[in-house]
C-alpha cells in the first residue's frame, strides 16, 4: 500500500486530483453509498463547504507579511501580473465570446485557474533554480489562494451578485487565519498541517458532485486552459517582473525573472473555488461541475509543463549573463548607494564556482502539490 501511495504521489496534483476522481467514480457508479446518511454522507458528500472553509483558514495563516522588502516587492509584482492575466482572459471571454464561453471554457474556470498558483511547486522550483528573494515571494503569493480574487473579478465586472455580507462570509475564514497567523507563530505552525491534511477530503466531497460525463466531456477542454495558463499568466508574470526590475533600476545581470515562469501554474486548491463562488452566488451552480472539472485538468497540465518552462528560462538567463543566485544576492547585500553606482560589467563578473544543475526536474519534483 505504501509503495502504491508513493507512486500515486508522483502524479502532478495527486493530492487533489486523485480524490476528486475517486469521488466522481463513486458518484457515477455507486451514488447510493453517498446517501446512507449520518457521518458518511456529512463528510463525503455534504462536507465540502465546511472542509473548504477550514482549508482557507489554514492557508490564510501561512501568509506572512514580515517578508524582507525585495521578496515582498517581487511577490507583489508576480501577484499583480498573474491576476491581470486571469482578469483579462476571463472577462474577455465573458463579454466578447459567443454565449460567454470559448470552446466550452467558462469564465469562472478561466479566472480561478489563471489567478491561483501552485505554491508548493513554486517553492520546489525556486529552491532548485531561484534565489532567496524568489523563494521569499511565496508569502505574498499565498494571497491568490482561495476564492477571494476570483470573487472580486466577477463582482466588479457585474457577472456575480456579491452582497457584502456574503462576500465577507466567503473570505472571513481566510482573513481570520491571516490575522491569527501573523499574531502568533505558534498558531501558524498549528494550522500548517491543515494545508495538506484537508485537501483530499475536500476534493473527494467536490468530486462526489461530478459525473464522468462532465469530467471527461466538458472538463477535458481544461487541458487547453492549462496550456493557456502557462503561456498567458506565466508570460504576464514574467513581464511584471521585468517591469519591476526596470523601475527599480537594477543592473541587467540582476534582472532575474525566473519566478514568473514558476507562477505559470494552477494550484490544486483552485478546484474548490467554484464551490466557494456558488456559496456566495447560487446562480453559478449550473456551471460549478464544468468549472471544477476544467480546473482539475488545468492543474495536471500546468504541473507537468511548468518545470520544463522554468528550466528553459533559467538556461536563457544564463546565456544572457543573468546569474540568478550570485549576482542578485550580491547586489541585494550592498548598501543602497553602492547599488546605484554599480555598472553592468562589475555585476557581470560575479559567478558561482560551478554552474547549477540545469537538468530537467524529475517526477518527484513535478509531483509536489500544494
Nearest to 347 by CA among 369, 364, 325: 325
How confident is the model at residue 283, as a pLDDT? 84
d(CA 148, CA 124): 25
Q: What percent of the chain has pLDDT over 90?
A: 3
Nearest to 307 by CA among 230, 219, 195: 230
How confident is the model at residue 270, as a pLDDT? 84
14-348+357-363, what's its fold?
Na+/H+ antiporter like fold (1.20.1530)
In order of 20, 256, 349, the CA distances from 226 in angstroms are 18, 25, 39
How confident is the model at residue 330, as a pLDDT? 53
Q: What is the DSSP letter of 105?
A: B
Task: Please provide the DSSP assignment of 232-293 as one string.
Answer: IIHHHHHHHHHHHHHHTT--GGG---HHHHHT----GGGGGHHHHHHHH-GGGHHHHHHHHH
Paired residues of 102 in beta bridges: 105
The continuous run of DSSP H or E covering 222 comes out as helix 222-228
d(CA 213, CA 233): 29
The predicted-structure confidence for 68-109, as pLDDT tens digits, reads as follows 567 778 888 888 899 999 899 889 988 888 888 888 888 999
- Whether residue 235 contacts residue 166, with contact meaning beta carbons closer than 8 Å, is answered with no
CA torsion through residues 332, 337, 338, 339, sign:
positive
Residue with C-alpha cell 517578508? 67
Nearest to 322 by CA among 236, 261, 234: 261
How confident is the model at residue 111, as a pLDDT? 92
How confident is the model at residue 10, as a pLDDT? 67
In order along its 370 residues, the chain shows pLDDT tens digits of 778 777 777 665 567 667 877 888 888 888 888 888 888 888 887 887 788 788 778 877 877 666 556 777 888 888 889 999 989 988 998 888 888 888 888 899 999 989 888 776 787 677 677 777 777 777 777 777 778 888 888 888 887 777 677 667 767 887 888 889 889 889 889 988 887 788 788 778 877 876 776 656 666 788 889 899 999 988 999 888 889 888 877 777 777 788 888 888 888 778 888 888 888 888 888 888 888 888 888 887 887 788 888 888 888 878 877 776 655 555 555 555 544 444 444 444 444 444 444 444 444 444 444 4
Amino acid at each position: 500500500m505504501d509503495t502504491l501511495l508513493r507512486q500515486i504521489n508522483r502524479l502532478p496534483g495527486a493530492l487533489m486530483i486523485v480524490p476528486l476522481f475517486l469521488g466522481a467514480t463513486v458518484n457515477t457508479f455507486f451514488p447510493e453509498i453517498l446517501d446512507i446518511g449520518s457521518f458518511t454522507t456529512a463528510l463525503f458528500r455534504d462536507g465540502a463547504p465546511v472542509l473548504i472553509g477550514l482549508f482557507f483558514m489554514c492557508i490564510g495563516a501561512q501568509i506572512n507579511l514580515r517578508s524582507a522588502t525585495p521578496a515582498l516587492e517581487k511577490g507583489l509584482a508576480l501577484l499583480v501580473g498573474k491576476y491581470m492575466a486571469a482578469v483579462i482572459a476571463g472577462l474577455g471571454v465573458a463579454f466578447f465570446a459567443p454565449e460567454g464561453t470559448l470552446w466550452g471554457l467558462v469564465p469562472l474556470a478561466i479566472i480561478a485557474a489563471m489567478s491561483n498558483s501552485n505554491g508548493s511547486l513554486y517553492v520546489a522550483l525556486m529552491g532548485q533554480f531561484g534565489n532567496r528573494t524568489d523563494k521569499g515571494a511565496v508569502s505574498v503569493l499565498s494571497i491568490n489562494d482561495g476564492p477571494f480574487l476570483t470573487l472580486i473579478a466577477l463582482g466588479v465586472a457585474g457577472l456575480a451578485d456579491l452582497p457584502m455580507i456574503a462576500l465577507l462570509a466567503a473570505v472571513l475564514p481566510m482573513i481570520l487565519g491571516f490575522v491569527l497567523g501573523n499574531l502568533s507563530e505558534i498558531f501558524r505552525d498549528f494550522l500548517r498541517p491543515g494545508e495538506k491534511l484537508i485537501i483530499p477530503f475536500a476534493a473527494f466531497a467536490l468530486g462526489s458532485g461530478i459525473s464522468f460525463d462532465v469530467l471527461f466531456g466538458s472538463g477535458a477542454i481544461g487541458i487547453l486552459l492549462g496550456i493557456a495558463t502557462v503561456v498567458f499568466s506565466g508570460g504576464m508574470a514574467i513581464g511584471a517582473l521585468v517591469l519591476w526590475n526596470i523601475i527599480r533600476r537594477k543592473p541587467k545581470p540582476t534582472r532575474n525573472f525566473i519566478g514568473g515562469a514558476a507562477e505559470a501554474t494552477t494550484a490544486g486548491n483552485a478546484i474548490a473555488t467554484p464551490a466557494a463562488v456558488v456559496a456566495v452566488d447560487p446562480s453559478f451552480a449550473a456551471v460549478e461541475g464544468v468549472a471544477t472539472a476544467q480546473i482539475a485538468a488545468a492543474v495536471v497540465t500546468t504541473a507537468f509543463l511548468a518545470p520544463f518552462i522554468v528550466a528553459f528560462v533559467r538556461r536563457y538567463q544564463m546565456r544572457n549573463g543573468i546569474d540568478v543566485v550570485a549576482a542578485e544576492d550580491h547586489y541585494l547585500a550592498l548598501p543602497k548607494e553602492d547599488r546605484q553606482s554599480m555598472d553592468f560589467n562589475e555585476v557581470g563578473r560575479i559567478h558561482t564556482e560551478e554552474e547549477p544543475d540545469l537538468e530537467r526536474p524529475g517526477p518527484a519534483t513535478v509531483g509536489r502539490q500544494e
